[in-house]
């Protein structure tokens, strides 16, 4: 049930963006036991004036191909699952669409199950 927000520089092809969606979905399925069909993701594209990042923060050499990935999920995963998710995301995005691991920035936000509504005005997990 993750909700995934991806921010990136504008100008990539539809196939590139689709590969990001596919890779993130596969990574969550592989490491977070996300059920089939549980895909809620958006990509926001930004021009250069509206996309800023630390090009060498923590001695990581980032480029304009940086993707900022924010994942909101329930707080039910172990530290090992989280580490596995971060590794798997970088691995799969490296394979397709070819994003360098240095350009994969992930932020995981966790919350309680009663904080989610998947539609119809209901708290399905409360």
Q: What's the mean pLDDT in 11-20?
A: 98
Give all strands of the β-sheet with 3-9 in edge-to-edge order. Answer: 41-46, 3-9, 67-74, 104-111
pTM: 0.93
Tell me if 60 sits within 8 A of 104, measured CB to CB.
no
Catalytic residue among 2, 35, 97, 101: 2
Tens-place pLDDT, residues 113-126? 898 888 999 998 88
Q: Could you give the 3-state DSSP secondary structure of residue 25?
A: helix
- Has 2 been annotated as catalytic? yes
In a domain? residue 122: no
Tens-place pLDDT, residues 85-103? 999 999 999 999 999 999 9
Q: What is the CATH number of the domain that holds 40?
A: 3.30.429.10
CA 104 from chain center: how many Å? Answer: 9
In a domain? residue 120: no
Domain count, the chain: 1
pLDDT of 70 > 90? The answer is yes
Residue 21 structural domain: 3-115
Q: Could you give the 3-state DSSP secondary structure of residue 31?
A: helix
| Unique residue bearing structure tokens 């909101």 | 72
């Amino acid at each position: 049930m993750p909700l995934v927000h991806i921010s990136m520089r504008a100008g990539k092809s539809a196939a590139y963006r689709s590969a990001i969606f596919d890779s993130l979905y596969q990574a969550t399925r592989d490491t977070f036991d996300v059920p089939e069909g549980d895909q809620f993701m958006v990509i926001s594209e930004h021009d250069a004036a509206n996309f800023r990042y630390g090009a060498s923060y923590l001695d990581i050499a980032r480029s304009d191909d940086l993707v900022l990935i924010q994942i909101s999920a329930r707080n039910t995963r172990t530290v090992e699952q989280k580490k596995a998710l971060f590794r798997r995301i970088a691995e799969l995005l490296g394979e397709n669409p070819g994003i360098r691991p240095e350009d994969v920035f992930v932020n995981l936000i966790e919350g309680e199950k009663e904080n989610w509504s998947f539609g119809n005005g209901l708290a399905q997990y409360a």
